Amino acid sequence: MSTVVVDPLVLPGTDELRERALAALRRCGVTTAGHTGDTGDTITVRTPITGADLFDIPAADTRDVAAAIDAAHEAFGRWRMVPAPARGALVKRFGELVGRHRADLADLIGIEVGKIRSEALGEVQEMIDICDLAVGLSRQLTGRTMPSERPGHRLMETWHPLGVVGVISAFNFPAAVWSWNVALATVCGNTMVWKPSPRAVLTATACTALFDRAAADVGAPANLNVLVIASAADAAVLVDSPRVPLVSATGSQAMGERIAPRVAARFGRVILELGGNNAAVVTPSADLDLTTRAVVFAAVGTAGQRCTTLRRLIVHESIADEVAARLRAAYARLPIGDPFTESTLVGPLIDGQAHQSMARALRQAVADGGTILTGGDRRPTGTSAFYVEPVLVRMPAQTAIVRAETFAPILYLLTYRTLDEAIALHNDVPQGLSSSIFTTDQREAERFLAADGSDCGLVNVNIGTSGAEIGGAFGGEKATGGGREAGSDAWRAYMRRATNTINYSGALPLAQHIDFA
């Protein structure tokens, strides 16, 4: 581990953060946060910036979750008959309000999740981008027509809304991932019940207030998106309800393993966006200046707490020492600290549990023969916040700990001799979210993109594993869950398809020439 002595970080006061959160909520139109009934349950809002508790928010119980489903179901009866372009008008207005409250939402994301300013603002920009995409989509929910084998017949597809979509979201993208769902599900004619992460309930409350204001502004019905701030146990109602035809869940593999069989047991559908264990292959022809910058952003951005964070770097043995030296130099210069300070690039871990998992993983990596090249220490703060130095570990092999997702800024460096060996290492993990190759050799790039190349849902050349654009479908394979959200044709997952055959001939010819006279 590094032995460099560093000064304690200067952090904002807890009262200052509380006031900043309240002011942002007020500007977004929030008058009360949390469930309005009296269940006796509460969820504590804590900031990772100082580790302090800020507020206790009343939580919903199972009856409230059931009532939320009823309300969203009732709204669906009206919303599905609103023409899709008119539904797009709501999303357009919502995108405008998000743009106007960009700084407020970024404040709440910073306070609850500890994202640095530019990444928090980037998350809000992603919300605006998906609204733009969904508005265009509201005029393009197209079905196909196919030639019928029978004279005087027409064969076509129509797409209809599904119903109530249950959205379960993770702490690390507390606004953007919900907005991917809400923008598409809304133009597709669905309504939603949203269960956010208990670690980001203020952000969820502000987003919901803006969405409700947008609905009122365009004269849309109430309860198109009903927020339930509830524990995972109480949210089970959402998972099990036959009135929720689609559950879109973002979070850990363990969460997916718990909910997917339950939704399947009632023949519901899921969109699963689960953990990743993303890798980049660096070949001898790579541009190492570009590679170093891309690797640092992908590995340490959001303090290693993105689903797409780069966790494994698979480097050709001939350049491994040079790549390691460049990364050590870059890691030594990383500004770690208060996410609201403009120059900070690495904010805090979400909590002490995240720090424990990181420390456990590092101990195991060293026990497996790994060498810590730089980082790994916790920075002193005098608070119960967890600021850590991103860490680079050289591993002799892809051991079990390397094959698991540890949600912290640990980058394992592995070496390879042949590209086949690199791709085999790359794919030999349970998860399949994001991947990159750094090369200037087109043959190597094409090999990585081919059917026997990377097995991930996102496969990049000369950019890092994180930071996807909303225009493409986002999601991953294997234990990442197979779901797709955002652009391309991801909207189809929020609709049901009907195949229509129309006979305008006056005769009744049967398909496959069956004679039934």
Per-residue binder mask for ligand NAD (CB under 6 A), 353-392, x = binder:
----------------------------------------
Please report whether residue 168 would count as binding ligand NAD according to CB under 6 A.
Answer: yes
Q: Which of 64, 126, 273, 338 binds ligand NAD (CB under 6 A)?
A: 273
* CA 465 – CA 460 distance, rounded (Å): 7
Q: Which of 119, 123, 126, 405 binds ligand NAD (CB under 6 A)?
A: 405
User: Which DSSP symbol is given to 462?
Assistant: S
Closest distance of CB 474 from ligand NAD, Å = 6
Closest distance of CB 480 from ligand NAD, Å = 6
* CA 221 – CA 422 distance, rounded (Å): 54
Catalytic residue among 273, 389, 405, 485: 273
CB nearer ligand NAD, residue 416 or residue 491: 491
Contacts of 67 (CB under 8 A, 6+ apart): none
Interface residues for ligand NAD in 241-270 (CB under 6 A)? 250-252, 255, 258-259
Closest of 217, 219, 239, 235 to residue 227, by C-alpha: 235
Closest distance of CB 307 from ligand NAD, Å = 3
Please report whether residue 435 would count as binding ligand NAD according to CB under 6 A.
Answer: no
Please report whether residue 172 would count as binding ligand NAD according to CB under 6 A.
Answer: yes
Cβ(444)–Cβ(466) below 8 Å: no
Please report whether residue 274 would count as binding ligand NAD according to CB under 6 A.
Answer: yes
- Residue 273 annotated in active site: yes
CB nearer ligand NAD, residue 43 or residue 137: 43
Please report whether residue 433 would count as binding ligand NAD according to CB under 6 A.
Answer: yes
CB nearer ligand NAD, residue 102 or residue 258: 258
Query: Which of these segments, 192-200, 325-333, 490-498, 504-512, binds ligand NAD (CB under 6 A)?
Result: 192-200
* CA 299 – CA 322 distance, rounded (Å): 18
Please report whether residue 409 would count as binding ligand NAD according to CB under 6 A.
Answer: no
DSSP string, 203-255: HHHHHHHHHHHHHHHTTPPS-SEEE----TTTTHHHHH-TT--EEEEES-HHH
Please report whether residue 198 would count as binding ligand NAD according to CB under 6 A.
Answer: yes
Specify burial of residue 118 (Cβ count, 10 A radius: 0-12, 13-18, 19+): middle
Specify burial of residue 13 (Cβ count, 10 A radius: 0-12, 13-18, 19+): exposed
Interface residues for ligand NAD in 474-513 (CB under 6 A)? 476, 480
- Which pairing describes strands 410-416 and 485-486: parallel, antiparallel, or unpaired? unpaired
Integer CA distances (angstroms), 420 to 313, 417, 448, in order: 15, 9, 9
List residues near ligand NAD by CB under 6 A. 168-173, 177, 195, 197-198, 232, 235-236, 239, 250-252, 255, 258-259, 273-276, 307, 405, 407, 433, 476, 480
* Active site residues per annotation: 273
